[in-house]
Amino acid sequence: MNLINIGYGNVVSADKLISVVSPDSAPIKRLMQQAKEMFKLVDGTCGRRTRAVLVFESGHIILSALMPDTITQRVEQMNGGKNA
């Protein structure tokens, strides 16, 4: 299992990660609200501003205070520089 640090001591499985997106658009805000209603939203921001939304195969949504570019770089480093 490959784990990626999403900030502030929080790690997630990179194997089940589908996408890393910005939380600013209306469709992503709706996705976050639906996940919250279905108890599939995990807030990993530690009280900070949400800058990235991670979408997983299971339908879980995890919020991170790191920028999407930072998380993407960490996934690419783990994969040896290949595109994630």
Q: What digits encode the pLDDT tens for the residues 34-53?
A: 999 999 999 999 999 999 99
As beta bridge partners, residue 11 has 5
Residues 6+ apart with CB under 8 A from 75: 4, 14, 17, 20, 84
pLDDT digits 0-9 by tens, 57-84: 999 999 999 999 999 999 999 887 665 4
Read off the pLDDT of residues 4-37 as tens digits, 9 standing for 90 and up: 999 999 999 999 999 999 999 999 999 999 999 9
